[in-house]
Amino acid sequence: MKRFLALLATCATVLGLTALVAPQPAVAATGCRVDYTVTNTWQGGFQAAVKITNLGAPVAGWKLGFAMPDAGQRLAQGWNATWSQSGSAVTATAAAPDWNAALATGAAAELGFTGTFSGANPAPSAFTLNGVPCTGSDDGPPPVGDDGTPVGINGQLHVCGVNLCNQYDRPVQLRGMSTHGIQWFSQCYNAASMDALAHDWKADLLRIAMYVQEDGYETDPAGFTDRVNGLVDMAEDRGMYALIDFHTLTPGDPNYNLDRAKTFFASVAARNADKANVIYEIANEPNGVSWPAIKSYAEQVIPVIRAADPDAVIVVGTRGWSSLGVSDGSSESEIVNNRVNATNIMYTFHFYAASHKDNYRAAVSRAAAQLPLFVTEFGTVSATGGGAMDRASTTTWLDLLDQLKISYANWTYSDAPESSAAFQPGTCDGGDYSSSGVLTESGALLKDRISTPDHFPTG
């Protein structure tokens, strides 16, 4: 929405109407804003640029503070300030007579550092300037430029009718990949693998599967939140959309995780509100639970996201492992007749091609005429994530999704030792994500499908 407001403001200025439609901030200014960008990474090392914008009263000197979210991240060398690290806490200070010590209201200082990391390299999020949290934003980031990337072309997405639409209000289909559980496969998500996904696969979308149980979010909420944010940034840097998947699975009732969902989404929505590339998926696969119970969960979580990020698309899981109810002997009609009370939302459908065939395709064909659908996860194999790839069923499914312009993410962009994984076991221990030899049968099929031109409509 930021871009839309910016364009509206520009048009309004030309018409002399600025005062009537001046853009309103989605997040109130509270003193400062920090733009953090990893500008380079190499084996065990990285370089980051940090831009501090003072949105409060003028200061004669300043001290920036933030925490390195991962224990393995260490500051090596910084510039344009005096840098130090103690434990996870990093500070960068400028005091008179340093040339950049004084910051007027609205003025910015640009600094940077190199660091080392082992394991993940998530972006810090809790920045402070002279002790004031930098959560503010006056008019948001500059509009996303049309740099030919999926996000550059399409900008902030929204739901229009039963479709996902771009900034030109035209239907688009996003095609991409899902991570495996990030608690198990973080070694698969790095600059090289993301470059391969964006540039070789030409993917539009990265789904970030953050399990809640099974050693996931519940064991370290702050750490997993940071990891998700780091992956959102890696997708954004490459012009890909990021689907933040709150990967509930066992137990199947999402209400079991309602408080965790509220905490998690309040945080990621506030942090990512100004980004055009974020889509929220609030419950992976509800199972053993009724549609009214799922709907109730959705109607409690959606307002939490909207309060921080009013314009993002939100995807709601459906009954029977997100089968629109079909795997429970029900159908999409329970949703059509009792929709979630919210706008700009879509409903999840998942399939595994070797397990789910004609009756599921029939349900999707019927439902697609009435409900905005998003295939946030599917496999080319059986519902176990293993077994033989079913090429014929996968092809029939993907042709159907293409025809209906239903977006999809494939399980998984990982080297898990299971046939649903796109890479051969051991691939993520090396740096090669591009040669054909590292792909599995499923990976080769998906790369072929996803890398064809998108032809996103722009007019």
**What residues are annotated to the active site?**
285, 377
Alpha carbons 89 and 304: distance in angstroms, whole number: 29
Nearest to 333 by CA among 370, 293, 298, 282: 370
CB 257 within 8 A of CB 296: no
Q: How far is CA 432 from CA 61, 73, 451, 453, in A?
A: 46, 24, 18, 24
Any contact of residue 285 with ligand IDC (CB under 6 A)?
yes
Number of residues in the chain: 459
Q: Does 334 bind ligand IDC (CB under 6 A)?
A: no
* Nearest to ligand IDC of 179, 277 (CB atom): 179
The answer to whether residues 287 and 321 touch, using CB atoms and an 8 Å cutoff, is yes
x/- letters, 130..169, toward ligand IDC (CB under 6 A): ----------------------------------------
- Give the amino acid at 151: V
Q: Which stretch binds ligand IDC (CB under 6 A): 12-20, 168-176, 363-371, 377-385?
A: 377-385
Q: Contact letters (x/-) for ligand IDC, 307-326, by CB under 6 A?
A: --------------x-----
Spatial CA neighbour of 248 closest among 215, 286, 289, 278: 286
Pick the piece of the chain touching ligand IDC (CB under 6 A) from 193-201, 261-269, 383-391, 426-434.
383-391
Nearer to ligand IDC, 200 or 214 (CB): 214
Binding mask 236-275 for ligand IDC (x = CB under 6 A): -------------x--------------------------
Measured from the CB atom, is 332 or 418 closer to ligand IDC?
A: 418
Q: Which of 70, 204, 274, 377 touches ligand IDC by CB under 6 A?
A: 377
CB atoms within 10 A of CB 148: 8
d(CA 270, CA 25): 12
Choose between 55 and 316: whose C-beta lies nearer to ligand IDC. 316
Continuous segment of H or E residues that includes residue 350: strand 345-352
Q: Does 297 bind ligand IDC (CB under 6 A)?
A: no
- Contact between 352 and ligand IDC by CB under 6 A: the answer reads yes
Decide: residue 126, CB within 10 A, 0-12 exposed, 13-18 middle, 19+ buried: middle
Nearer to ligand IDC, 225 or 248 (CB): 248
Complex with ligand IDC: residue 249 or 389, whichever CB lies closer:
249
Residue 165 CA: distances (Å) to CA of 49, 278, 377, 450: 33, 14, 20, 19
Cβ 367 vs Cβ 332: under 8 Å: yes
Rule CB under 6 A: is residue 415 a binding residue for ligand IDC?
A: no
Instruction: Extract the tokens encoding 322.
Output: 């997100």
Per-residue binder mask for ligand IDC (CB under 6 A), 180-219, x = binder: ----------------------------------x-----
| Binding window for ligand IDC (CB under 6 A); candidates: 73-81, 89-97, 340-348, 415-423 | 415-423
Contact stretch for ligand IDC (CB under 6 A) within 53-61, 221-229, 294-302, 413-421: 413-421
Nearer to ligand IDC (CB atom), residue 182 or residue 416: 416
CA 178 from centre of chain: 11
Pairing of strands 132-133, 74-79: unpaired
User: What type of residue sits at position 404?
Assistant: L
3-state secondary structure of 178: strand
Distance CA 149, CA 420 (A): 27
Residue number of the CB atom closest to ligand IDC: 385
Question: Exactly one of 371, 383, 389, 438 binds ligand IDC (CB under 6 A); which one?
Answer: 383
Residues contributing to the site for ligand IDC (CB under 6 A): 214, 249, 284-285, 321, 350, 352, 377, 383-385, 411, 416, 418, 420
